[in-house]
Structure 1
Amino acid sequence: MRVLAAMSGGVDSAVAAARAVDAGHDVVGVHLALSRAGGTLRTGSRGCCTIEDAMDARRAADRLGIPFYVWDFSERFRDEVIDDFVAEYRAGRTPNPCMRCNEKIKFAALLERAIELGFDAVCTGHYATLVDTPHGRELHRASDAAKDQSYVLGVLNAEQLAHCLFPLGSTPSKAVVRAEAEERGLTVAHKPDSHDICFIPDGDTKGWLAERVGVAEGPIIDRSGAQVGTHDGAHAYTVGQRRGLALGTPAPDGKPRFVLEIRPVTNTVVVGPKEALATAEIAGSRVSWAGRAPDAASFACDVQIRAHADPVPAGAEIVDGEVVVTPAEPLDGVATGQTAVLYDGTRVIGQFTIDRTRSAVPVEA
């Protein structure tokens, strides 16, 4: 099988490529150049797409004896991921750029080009498991729960899953991957994991957004509509935030208040008690199914709203193209723009972007 190995420059993708070679596949390595911004190219950047990462990927490919290329996807990355990130914040939503990158770049743009060039599959270092069944290919959680990345892969559809290869899915731990990399003589064996948003290398998301969204003073109100403070830019706040509110009017009960809602049209931030963060229902219409779609309009599932959150039992219903999920227990601090991934045990059913939420605590409370 001809396999295109996406090599980020990290240990996971290097070992995944090595295992694809060991499996007898005809493997070609490729590193995606996703940004031309100087900040993502300098030493010390905390993302996953620096010039140093490209060099690490090349060294790994040389060690494995496979061809290696760098593909410039920076324009599409800007259009599909960065511009979307800014637009979502302007709309008062909290986006997940890693989900968009997987959806639009790594398993859309990359896979499209790979198929055009005659490759059968794209191999990545994600920790997730693929299972072939009579109903088609399914996406499942990885063996190592601590490293499981099925959540961020929940955006993949049946056609994309048919061309995916995740060699690390059954690996019991990251320590095993690092030991294997060292044994293979890969220089990335002990390279630290990437973190933060790759196109904001200094980690200052608030400052980065201020330059692009702008700064405009607006009111901070409580659930009754009374103004309790002011802010210098709604984009700097996220649902569930407690620190940095600088409210001039204390709550009647003296308890701390948290951000409950962002209203971009009026540039308003809504705050309230921690109890009001409890979410009784979430819904969204940007839906995709990871393999076969549910057999019925109503079904039981587990819902996960963050990459490292615990799944919560729930009931889901498809109504006029919208998925409405009611968790068995309230979810905590859900923001529109987040991704909800639905599971059946270890199997990923699908995902949707959260468009609206309903608090478990009435406004009168």
Structure 2
Amino acid sequence: MNNYQKQLISATVPILRESGEDLTDYFYARMFKHHPELRNMFNMGNQANGRQKSALANAVLAYAENIENPSVLIGVLKGIGSKHTSLNIQPEQYKIVGTHLIASIKEVIGEPATDEILEAWTVAFFQLADIMINVEKGLYAENLSKEGGWNGWRNFIIKRIEQESAEIKSFYLYPQDGKEIANFHPGQFISVQVFIEELNLLQPRQYSLSTSYNSEYYRISVKKENGMNSNPSGMVSNAMHLKSEGDIISISAPAGLFHLEKDSKNPLVLISGGVGFTPMLSMLETNMNALQNKKTVWIHGCRNESVHAFKNQIEELKQNTEWLETHTFYDTSEDEKNLPENISLGRVDLQKCSDSILIEGAKFYICGPEIFIKNQYESLLNLNVSRENIFYEEFGPQLINLN
């Protein structure tokens, strides 16, 4: 890409800021019309609620804003690449995306999208595609280098299902072929592929692994989300909650950049909201099983006791160790007068826990809904925690970039 083309890309930034989501909304409709098979690879819940078009609009804008030095985006691109490999995205699909994105720019923007601008964006997109393909090539190779690793989809048997709370079930997944399964870092996720009759589509969803690694099975803990019929958001979780022991589902190899640093001895502060507790469980079990006994403080918020999953197991662990401290926040409680000392009413408030969490050298991990992450991140900054020590995982398309 030459300097003149970079200038043309930069000149489109104001248009992308104003009309980016109109563009990406049009793009997805256009692409699915010509390639309906791709609907099996995309989360149609995020298509319906607009999160996917917002995420793509943000990504296109960020690329245009940093066209002079796209390497500053490499951290974000690695995160997207990790998600792509979990969905088995292949290089030839970038050509499809590029063709329909450029056509959408022409058809949505209209006359201002001159041939020169379209040519510049074509060069820019395929430059970005090459970066992504190389990132993903490395991740695919890494998968295959692991004992028990694989790429694409692999069948697993649901051998055990446990009800963890009023709305969360755990699924114990064993490989159908009986072969070894890949190791993973505590905090990573797998993608699950389920056929949804209402859509007549296969649908993928990402679920954090909720145990430390063992050689026999993976465990995911799935919240049954509201939303069926006209709202696809909860279709996969509802379908999972209808599964029975013995059923078979397809999953991808473990992936994701949100995980504990290997061999790190730093104290941990885990901050979770709702079902965001799942990667924290993996981190907690790994710490326990590795006998590292790193000081760990877990702050968790949820609506009430009935939806507080794994509370008895966590409490038992805390009673039998000296390294774990917990603080829980319930929005409401049926027994407000008899709550234990470590449980408070209201939303998570890190100021109330500041004496516990401001530990020298601590690493902070946040997981939960978008607004939860933003609030807790801001609270940590207000407590003078360094950005470089804060890590977060946003469920669904990446809409926030705080670091």
TM-score using structure 2 length: 0.25
TM-score using structure 1 length: 0.27
